[in-house]
Structures are given as C-alpha cells and as structure tokens.
Structure 1
Amino acid sequence: MSDHASTSIVNDQDCPLPPDATELHWGSDAVAWALRVLPLDYIALNPGASYRGLHDSLVNLLGDHAPRMLVCLHEEHAVALAHGYAKVTERPMAVALHSNVGLMHGSMAIYNAWCDRAPIIILGATGPVDANRRRPWIDWIHTSQDQAALVRPFIKWDDQPASIGAALESMLRAWQTACRRPYGPVYICLDVGLQEQALSEPPKLPDPQRFLPGEPPVPSSRALDEAARMLLNARNPLILAGRVSRDADDWQRRVELAERLGARVLSDLKVAAAFPTEHPLHALPPALRLGSDAVELLATADVILSLDWLDLGGTLYTVWPDGKPSARIIHASLDDYAINGWAMNHQRMAPVDLALDGAPDAAVSALIERLSAQAPAIKPRERGSIPAPASAAAHSASALDLNALAQTLSNVLNDRLTTYLRLPLGWPGAACRFRHPLDYLGYDGGAGIGSGPGMAIGSALALKGSGRLPVAVLGDGDLMMGANALWTAARHGIPLLIVVANNRAYYNDVAHQEAVAIERNRPVENKWVGQRLDEPAIDLAAVARAQGFEAEGPITDIETLRMAVIRAIAAVERGVPALLDVVVEAGYVGGVVDFKTDNQSVTHQRGQAK
C-alpha cells in the first residue's frame, strides 16, 4: 500500500457523495458529513448513549455506508481494529468511544497506537455539558470535565468543540494531525447536547480539499550531501531498517540503496517488514532483541544508517556501553517530534553524528539520487562475503514447538501470497521469509497484551480483495484477553486465519521468574506458580466457534497440524474466519530474558523450557 497521508480527499465511484447542507438537520448530521468527505471507510464502535445522535446520523443520513459501522464487543477492540487497519493502509479509520467509561476501556489500545505511530481518528462523547440537560444519575456519572485528560499524554491532539462550526473544523484538524508524520491517534469529544442540537439553518460547510495534510518532511540538502559522502567513504556500512512505509516502491528503493553501498542490513520483528529477509545483504534473521551475532555485526561497522530504527539509543548502548560508538551514526527519523514528558516510548537518547530530520523513505530516495550522480565512486561489497540467513533449526518428528509450528506453516503456505499479521514472542526469525512490505505487519507498539485479536481483524479487513491470505500467530494469553474481538470478524465477514501458539501459560512471565530465581538462588521449579493457564485447559476452539469461526483444536502433533492448516486455509478462501488451537512446548527458540537489578544486569539464555 502507498502512503496516503497527502492523498486528495475525493469521492470515487464506490463512495457516495456526502449530503449537501440542506439535508443536514442536526449537529450530528454535520459530523457525519465530515466523516464521509474525509473520507473514512469504516467506524469501529461499541454502542453508547453518549453518541446516540451520531449513531442515528450514521444510520439514517449515511445509510451505514462510507463509513460503515463495525460493531465490537469492547472499546479496546474497536481501537485495536483501527490500529490494525492503519498498519496496512497508513491511513486512519474512525472509532467511536462511549463517554468517559468507553475512553477508559479503550485507553490501552490508544497507547499501543501511540507507541506504534498509527493514525486513528477517535470520536468520544460526554453527557450534556449543560447540567440542566442531564438525565438523573447516568448522565452525571458519564460526564467528565476535560475528558481527554485521561489519554492526553499518548495522543497527538484533542478537542471538545462547543459549536457546529467548531466541530467541523475539529474534524478537519483531526484528519490533518493524524495523517502528518509522525502519525498518531487524535481524540474529539462531542457533547451530547451539540450532537442533538437542531440546526436553525444549513451549516456553512468547508471545502475539505483546502485542509489536506502536507507531504512528509525531507531532510535538508546539506545533511543529505554529508550523509551520501559518509556512506560512499564507508568500508563497512550497515543499514538498520526500522519504521518505514508499506509502499512497494519504497521497499525497492531500500534494496537499491543497500546494493549500491554493498551495505549489510538488519531488520526488527517489533516493526513491519522493511527489507527482504532472503536478500544476501540481509545479514541476520529479524529478531525482537539483539543477539550476540547482531552485536558483533554492529561493532564491526564503520558507518551505520538508521532508518527510524526503533530504540536506536538502546541498540547503540548495548554494543558500546560507554555511549561512544566507534561507528559514525546517521539517523533518518521524525520520531523526536512525538516526544512528550509522560510516556517513555521515545527510548534512550542515541549518540548520533548526523540527524536527517525527515521521513526515512524520503531520505532513502534522496540518497539514491546523490549516489547515482557519483556512481563511479561506488564499490559494492562482494555478495559472496555476506553470510546467507540461517535456516530454522531442525526439529524432531514429534516435537511441536515454535520451530515446528513455524516450519509447518511455511511448508503448507509455501509460495502463497501471505501476510503475517502478528507473530508471538519467541518466534524463530530464521523462519521469516519476507519478500514484500505487506508480508509482515509487526508487533503492537505498546506491548499491551490482548491487542492481537482486534489488530489482526483490522489488518485483515484492510487486506480484503488484495489476494493475500491474512495469518496471525497469537499467544494463548493474548487471545483470551481479546477473545471477544473474534465475533466482529464473523459478523462483518472478515476472513483470516488465527493460529494460537498455546503453551497454556503466561510464558514470558514464567521465563522472567526463572531468571529471577536463578539470580537469587531460589527454586526454579516454582517459576510456574501463578502463571499457568491450565487445569482446566481453556477450550480455545470452542471459544472461537461460539463466535462464528471455524475452529479446530487442541492440536498436539505436526501431521494433524498440517492437515488442519490446509482445511483452515480453505475456510478463509471461502470467506470464513478460522482458528487453530495448537498446543506447543513452553519455551522460546534460543530466547533471552534481560532484566536489571539495582547493581547488575542479568541475561539468562535458555532453550526449550518444559
């Protein structure tokens, strides 16, 4: 998908024209008009009386089309759907949250979107600001002063307009702000009284074409010239491919830049696919954390180009604990513009020699132009000197662990056009074969467990009609925290395949308790206490079937898994969502747990924990 941030707001033949001013009779009608002209294809919601006026306008003015309502069973899932949709399209979906209680329900998902730099337009509501119009009891407890204060530290902008004209301007500003880099969620709180206000005359409707977001910023020519010079003179350049666009042309330009420089490339499983993992210059399998081989690779580089690498500071301090990298560091990013004093998601400050303040893909394009003009000076690295990515470790014929699950999925999917919507902690990076920017969509941003089902469904919705098979591999804890999001996929005909890597535990915390026990010389056998999701085991397939999925499980051997995947793919291709409950051995593939005490850092290596 291409970058939609600066796309003109137009209505194509599949999108009906917005109502004209004479058809708007209520305040909420004007807000609905704005939703259509922006345009917003969908609005995810859990119904609530605080926006009953807007709900009526969506149904009886717009005909539940453009935007179409996506009914969710929890506000957190509504926001997660929009987040997943944005990961594919790079443009916002609308969300409606009911009053202060709905905003509190949705706040974790909003934080995820904030950390992941995802554009979302969130419409909240409050009971009547005019106290004389509040119904007894319920309107009072659902009315808050400065409601956006609940989430203001992790949104880009908010407003509570007091008139119809102000509401229309708020909608346009929300679109502008959400779609400007760095992307992020925005929040508008609509007073019930404003929504239900009768219009005495047709409102003055703005021309939305005059309120479009601009093109993403480009680094200065001086800085780009210096970056090109540094890269051309590098003997051992390295590219850290981080938060970049989903556009296929941008993907090819990243490949071209690496090939012109002969630069090795690292990518990160916390973010979406950024570079082909099977390319000879992709030096190591993508991972969630730096391994010793990645540390060695960074340590031997003389120039490092960061393309909005997530946690560049933490990465550099891992390799150079004194904060003085031997390599020269170039960092192309706009992320510093999202810093505030509440959330620490901006990570540790990075020692950077040259900051390219701009969208990373714009920097790549500009660097290629400069390198093309100096082609004779380019000496690409011999590809034969670059180690090929390692293959996933072999597994026994009977063991069903993450490696076996990854290999079985890979074997059955083969060359089928697939998008991995989510992969769990501990997934073997060597099994990742990413050849297109939509092959993998990354993690959730804020590590808010329970986000997986909703985000996967939103991403699958965005992929409908693309010819891609949407596949999400989720943990059992993540699934159960968000399990009632599944109904929305069945209700709205959103086909996808969810494979649950079910270790019947909150295993990440099991691993942490193991590491703490080892450091304190306490019984490792107790690591499971308070962590197990067993006795009784949860019937995940039954949970999914109850909400309209085709589901199988528990699956405990590889051959049964292989046949079940084939059947599940057939269901998805018929337009039916499917879920497989796969019981896997508890453990990560060569994983690590890192934690710090007051006076030391402990890294505990482990294989397959039982």
Structure 2
Amino acid sequence: MQDPVIQNIDRPTVPVKSNDLAWKSDVAAELLRRSKIPFVVLNPGASYRGLHDSLVNYLGNTAPQMLLCLNEDHVVSIAHGYAKATDQPLACVLHSNVGLMHGLMGIFNAWADRVPMLILGATGPVQPEKRRPWIDWIHTAKDQGALLRHYVKWDDEPRSVHGVIESMTRALQMTTSAPKAPVYVCLDAGLQEEPIADAIDIPDFDRFAAPDAPCGTPADIAEVADMVAAAKHPVFLIGRGSRQQLHWDRRVELAETAGAAVITSLRERAVFPTSHAQHISPPSGWMTAGAKAAIKDADLIVSFDWVDLNGYLQQFDRKTHRLGARIVHVSLDSILHNGWSMDHFAPVAADRHVMADADAFIEQLLPAIKSRLGKPRAPWLKGGPATPRGFSDDAEKELIPHDIEALLTELQKQHPITLAHTVIGWASTDLPMSGPLDYLGHDGGAGLAAGPGLTIGAALALHDTGRIVVGVLGDGDFLQGATALWTAAHYSVPCLFIVSNNRSNFNDEVHQETVAKTRGRPVENRWVGQRIDDPAVDLAAIARAQGVDAIGPVQTLSELRDAVNQGLDAVKSGKPFFIDARVKPGYANIIVSRHG
C-alpha cells in the first residue's frame, strides 16, 4: 500500500551493499520487515540510534520506510489514523523516556479507541558502564513501561537479542488480536549497538499470526437468536465495527432480517448506512429524540460493542436496570479493563452478556435468525436519512460550523470523501455515511493535537483508493498539532485540512457557562481565559510555514466553496491543502451545546 512518490523520498545516499545481520538492532529491523508493516513513524532520538541505523543502512529505508515527524504527538496520531482506516498497525518509535512522555496522550487516545499499534521505545544503556556521562543517565529508567502500562495491552523490555525476537513477535500477535489495542516494546540502547555473535534464527511470522476473532458459544447464538425472533420491537445499537465491506453488508442484512431499528454513534467509525430506512436517528454521541422514542418502545436492545452502553441508556432512565426491554451486550472490551482508567464505564445490566467480537458474532447470529424467521421481517420503526439542514441563512455574511458539514455534503455527491476527523458538536444530519470508509470516528480519548495526525494517517492508508481524505479540525486542536502538517508536505500525503476556527476554546466556554448558571454568576464572563483572539492567530501562515498550501481566513460560503475547490484540486494532484474557515462560535449539534 506504499505510494510510489513516498518510496522515492529519503533514500540512503550510499546504497546498501549487504543485508547480512551484523548488529542486534538489525534483528529488530528485520522483524519489522517480515511483519509487512509498511511504515515506521518516528521523531529521532539517540536512545534508538542503533535501530535508526539499521532501518537506513540495513533495510535501505524501504519496507518499512521511516516517516519523520516533528513531535512525538504526531508520531502516534499518524499511526492511530492509519489504524482507524485499515484495522492494521503501523510501527512508531519514541525516544527514551522524554520522547515517550510526549507521545503518552496520543497512546491514550489510541488505547481508548481500541486500535492496533506497535510502539517501540528505547532506554539505557541498561548496563551503567556503557552510559555516556549525564545524558544516558537521565534517559535511562528501570521500568519505562510503567509510564504507559495502564493504557497498553502489553509491554516488555527484552534483555537479549533472542528476547527481542520473542518480544516483537508476541507484541505483533497481541496488537492484531481482538480486542485490539496498542502494545509497547522498549529496546535497550546498549543491546541495540552490540554486534551479533551467535546464529540468529527468526521464526516464520505466519505461524504467529493473530487468531480469528473470538465467537459466541452455541448457547449464546441460540438464546440471542430466540430473543430476536420473539421480539416485536428490537433495537440494534451498533458501536465498534471493522472497516471490511463484508462485515458492513452483514450488519445491514442482520438488521433487515430482524426488522430491527438501528442506532449508531458519532464517536465510532461508520458501521451502518445512515440513509437506510431502519437507521432511525442521525449518529450522535448523545441520545437524540428519535433514539429515545425507539428505546421507549423497544422490547429488546442488542448492543454490538456499544461504548458506554450504560451511560447511553441513562439518558433515557438513570436507573437502567428498570428498562422494560431485555438487553443483550456483545463485547470483548472487558478483557482490556483495569483499575487505573475509568474507560470501562458503569456496569451494564444485561440479560445476556456475550464475550465475542461483534462482527464475528453477527456472522454466527445471522443464519440462526434466518432459520427462525424464514424470511426478512418488516421493520417495526422507520427512520432513514435526516432532513438536511443545508446552509445557514446568513452564510454569505458569516459562516457557522454546520456550513462546513453542508458544503462537504454537497461535494460528496461528486467525490468519494473520507471524513477522518470532526470537531465537537458535529451535527451529522447532512453528511451521509454509505460505506465503512466514509467516516473514521473521533480521537478516542478526547486528547487535543490529534486531529492533524489522524487525518494524515488516514490519508496515508487510503492514498491509492481514489478517496478524498478530509479532516475538520478545531482551532485549538490544530494549534497544538500544527507541525504534523510538515510530515504531510514532506511525503506528499494528499489530504484536506479544514479548520472550523471560532477563535476560542469553545467547549470550555460552554462548561464555564454551565458552572456560572449553577452558581448564579454572570454567564457573560464565560469567554475570559478561553478566547484565542486579539491577536487572531494566522492559521494559514502556520500551515504554509510547514510547506502546505493554504487559504484563509475565509469568512463566507462563496469564499469557502472556492477554497475547497482549490483544495480538492491539490489533493487530487497528490498534495495536502489547508483552509482556515472562520466561523461564528457555537455548535451545530444542539445536544452537545447543552452538555458541553
């Protein structure tokens, strides 16, 4: 999946003459090659200078190729974006403890988003006699994995070259096994730089491939199929799902066979066509009026890996155990839960808990329901596409955030668009989702600075598909992640960045208004300490400084349409493009405006 243009970037000046394993870091590089991971995303660091040399002078910076970033935040977010689009990991490398500290927020985002990722770190040298004065001492830690152990699936710090083989083999198998999540392997700097003295035997990676996703038991299949067949008003809550078209088609067939009403989440990636008659409410992180009506009348709710199921249902009734509907919860997520993070959410009161991958269970469930019903059942509740809100009345004078969504909807009729990122408050009423690559969800852990890297990672993954990858970013998110654009410019990664620029940390304005109302204090002061203005930041200049063509600020619909058309031409030619769209502060999604 590597782009020919990318393949001709950053090639060694002196060609590699031998591929003989000579140094222990060569073994780690060889393992990356055999894993078929196409790219290694990194920001350089002396703690892994041995591995860096191996990637260049042993592998020739091909298969995998290094992607240079200017900050470890972007190293992780680019790998995260790639995984969101492919369900497959990239490798990323983080320097010693200080580089790892930079990347921790991105790792938490990826963890909360349950995506695969191979993170390589470095420390040491572990042996004190090998340490250079001062610098090697402050960059050595006894247990570097302790910094992130609570939000990775597994971590290790191998002490021998044979340990490196075992550790990386296990890490790759674990990160690609359901439920997927990042893994971390820390490489001793001293070990990397040792010559190989013994024969090295690298196993066949095919024999260590991830197992098939766990399925439901025969009892699970029979009971849930019976419950669906007996239900008059079934509701399917479809949360996490793969990017495979086959899985998408099965979800649709299951809903049509059962006659179920379907609800999806804006926090997760596209999993079901939003224009389908049985998709009864626009995707949202909060329960919409249409979703509440469906939950009210439902006699069966089946959750297919819905994130925070109890929290979602609490929006209908705080005491979820009092709901009249029977509840089935299909998820493997509890395998990853620990006591550090509350991302396990509140316990779910369900009549049947199924420990299975949601898509694997749907494959099992579909024939069982067909055998019970004989033919597809008529849907008990219909929804279909939401009525588009279109452009605001004053869009030619002043843009609002929803005008960006309305324009992308207009463009989607002519171009296959992948929406890699959205701002808080995205309405989702206009832009339809008709396939698994139309929308790639949120950043997982709500950590800022991720949006630019997520967009680049998705574009890297989808560069040869003919899709236009678009990231809609908040101004605060962009300003914290702006230098990620240099990587897009350097490697000619085609993607379109649109900043919905309200010149404020607006989500916190909403929170300050909530507190002021509760305390009987003036809400007019909510902006203090929040506004990014006076002077307004020249976002387009920042983008141009990274080597990305940019326009802005644009302030009317005509200006925005012209800018987007220029951006589409640039992306089609293989380049990134940036637009600063100045919008009136506010949220397109009214529910988010209330909750913040």
TM-score by length of 2: 0.94
Deviation of residue 20 (structure 1)? 14
Deviation of residue 39 (structure 1)? 1.7
The structure-2 alpha-carbon separation of the partners of 1:20 and 1:119, relative to structure 1 and needing over 3 Å to count, comes to: farther
Please say if 1:344 is aligned against 2:350.
no
Deviations 1:494-526 (A, max 9, x none): 010000000000000011111111121111110
Deviation of residue 313 (structure 1)? 1.2
Deviations 1:56-115 (A, max 9, x none): 000011000111000000111101111110001111100111000011111000001110
The structure-2 alpha-carbon separation of the partners of 1:481 and 1:576, relative to structure 1 and needing over 3 Å to count, comes to: same
Superposition map of 1:562-581 within 5 A: 562-581=561-580
Tell me if the contact between 1:21 and 1:203 (Cα under 8 Å) persists in the aligned partners.
no
Tell me if the contact between 2:402 and 2:427 (Cα under 8 Å) persists in the aligned partners.
yes
Farther off after superposition, 397-406 or 146-155? 397-406
Task: State the AA in 2 paired with 1:494.
Answer: V
The structure-2 alpha-carbon separation of the partners of 1:146 and 1:382, relative to structure 1 and needing over 3 Å to count, comes to: closer
2:475 corresponding residue in structure 1: 476
| Aligned-partner Cα distance in 1 for 2:351–2:38 | 43
1:545 corresponding residue in structure 2: 544
Tell me if the contact between 2:425 and 2:592 (Cα under 8 Å) persists in the aligned partners.
no
| Aligned-partner Cα distance in 2 for 1:90–1:387 | 28
| Aligned-partner Cα distance in 2 for 1:562–1:388 | 24
Superposition map of 1:405-420 within 5 A: 405-420=404-419
Deviation of residue 381 (structure 1)? 2.0
Matched position secondary structure for 1:30:
helix
Task: State the AA in 2 paired with 1:467.
Answer: G
RMSD: 1.8
| Aligned-partner Cα distance in 1 for 2:543–2:324 | 52
Superposition map of 1:370-381 within 5 A: 370-376=368-374, 379-381=377-379
| Aligned-partner Cα distance in 2 for 1:40–1:306 | 33
Please say if 1:434 is aligned against 2:437.
no
2:162 corresponding residue in structure 1: 165
Deviation of residue 317 (structure 1)? 2.3
2:357 corresponding residue in structure 1: 359
Please say if 1:99 is aligned against 2:96.
yes
Deviation of residue 294 (structure 1)? 2.1
1:294 corresponding residue in structure 2: 291
Matched position secondary structure for 1:276:
coil
Task: State the AA in 2 paired with 1:480.
Answer: L
| Aligned-partner Cα distance in 1 for 2:204–2:404 | 53
2:212 corresponding residue in structure 1: 215
Matched position secondary structure for 1:431:
coil
Please say if 1:123 is aligned against 2:120.
yes
1:308 corresponding residue in structure 2: 305
Please say if 1:135 is aligned against 2:127.
no
Deviation of residue 379 (structure 1)? 2.9
Matched position secondary structure for 1:430:
coil
The structure-2 alpha-carbon separation of the partners of 1:255 and 1:462, relative to structure 1 and needing over 3 Å to count, comes to: same
Deviation of residue 590 (structure 1)? 4.3
Deviations 1:238-259 (A, max 9, x none): 1111001110011011111111
The structure-2 alpha-carbon separation of the partners of 1:377 and 1:527, relative to structure 1 and needing over 3 Å to count, comes to: same
| Aligned-partner Cα distance in 2 for 1:272–1:404 | 22
Superposition map of 1:158-557 within 5 A: 158-324=155-321, 325-376=323-374, 379-381=377-379, 385-386=382-383, 388-392=385-389, 395-397=392-394, 398=396, 399-557=398-556
TM-score by length of 1: 0.92
Tell me if the contact between 1:50 and 1:99 (Cα under 8 Å) persists in the aligned partners.
yes
The structure-2 alpha-carbon separation of the partners of 1:20 and 1:200, relative to structure 1 and needing over 3 Å to count, comes to: farther
| Aligned-partner Cα distance in 2 for 1:377–1:129 | 65
Deviation of residue 292 (structure 1)? 3.5
| Aligned-partner Cα distance in 1 for 2:327–2:431 | 28
Deviation of residue 372 (structure 1)? 2.1
Deviation of residue 388 (structure 1)? 4.7
Task: State the AA in 1 paired with 2:312.
Answer: T
1:4 corresponding residue in structure 2: none
| Aligned-partner Cα distance in 2 for 1:20–1:557 | 57
Task: State the AA in 1 paired with 2:573.
Answer: R
| Aligned-partner Cα distance in 2 for 1:343–1:116 | 13
Farther off after superposition, 568-577 or 374-383? 374-383
| Aligned-partner Cα distance in 2 for 1:456–1:86 | 11
Tell me if the contact between 1:497 and 1:579 (Cα under 8 Å) persists in the aligned partners.
yes
Deviation of residue 204 (structure 1)? 1.9
Deviation of residue 387 (structure 1)? 5.9
Deviations 1:285-342 (A, max 9, x none): 1112123432232121110111101110111222222232211111111111110110
Please say if 1:40 is aligned against 2:37.
yes
Task: State the AA in 2 paired with 1:278.
Answer: S
Percent identity over paired residues: 46
Matched position secondary structure for 2:526:
helix
The structure-2 alpha-carbon separation of the partners of 1:317 and 1:56, relative to structure 1 and needing over 3 Å to count, comes to: same
| Aligned-partner Cα distance in 1 for 2:265–2:20 | 50
The structure-2 alpha-carbon separation of the partners of 1:387 and 1:439, relative to structure 1 and needing over 3 Å to count, comes to: closer
Tell me if the contact between 1:392 and 1:428 (Cα under 8 Å) persists in the aligned partners.
no
Aligned length: 579
| Aligned-partner Cα distance in 2 for 1:589–1:64 | 45
Deviations 1:530-557 (A, max 9, x none): 0001011011111111111111000000
Unaligned runs of 5+ residues in structure 2 are: 2-15
Deviations 1:26-83 (A, max 9, x none): 0001111100001211000000000000000000110001110000001111011111
Tell me if the contact between 2:275 and 2:384 (Cα under 8 Å) persists in the aligned partners.
no
Tell me if the contact between 2:258 and 2:377 (Cα under 8 Å) persists in the aligned partners.
yes
Deviation of residue 196 (structure 1)? 0.5
Deviation of residue 22 (structure 1)? 7.8
| Aligned-partner Cα distance in 2 for 1:143–1:276 | 50
| Aligned-partner Cα distance in 1 for 2:26–2:132 | 23
The structure-2 alpha-carbon separation of the partners of 1:308 and 1:20, relative to structure 1 and needing over 3 Å to count, comes to: farther
| Aligned-partner Cα distance in 1 for 2:486–2:283 | 33
Task: State the AA in 1 paired with 2:48.
Answer: Y
Task: State the AA in 1 paired with 2:44.
Answer: P
Task: State the AA in 2 paired with 1:438.
Answer: L
Task: State the AA in 1 paired with 2:199.
Answer: P
| Aligned-partner Cα distance in 2 for 1:410–1:22 | 50
| Aligned-partner Cα distance in 2 for 1:239–1:372 | 16
Matched position secondary structure for 1:443:
coil
Matched position secondary structure for 2:315:
helix
Unaligned runs of 5+ residues in structure 1 are: 2-18, 595-603
Tell me if the contact between 2:24 and 2:192 (Cα under 8 Å) persists in the aligned partners.
yes
Tell me if the contact between 1:421 and 1:456 (Cα under 8 Å) persists in the aligned partners.
yes
Deviation of residue 386 (structure 1)? 3.9
Matched position secondary structure for 1:367:
helix
| Aligned-partner Cα distance in 1 for 2:87–2:144 | 27
Tell me if the contact between 1:265 and 1:281 (Cα under 8 Å) persists in the aligned partners.
yes
2:13 corresponding residue in structure 1: none
Please say if 1:112 is aligned against 2:112.
no
Task: State the AA in 2 paired with 1:123.
Answer: L
Matched position secondary structure for 1:473:
strand
1:558 corresponding residue in structure 2: 557
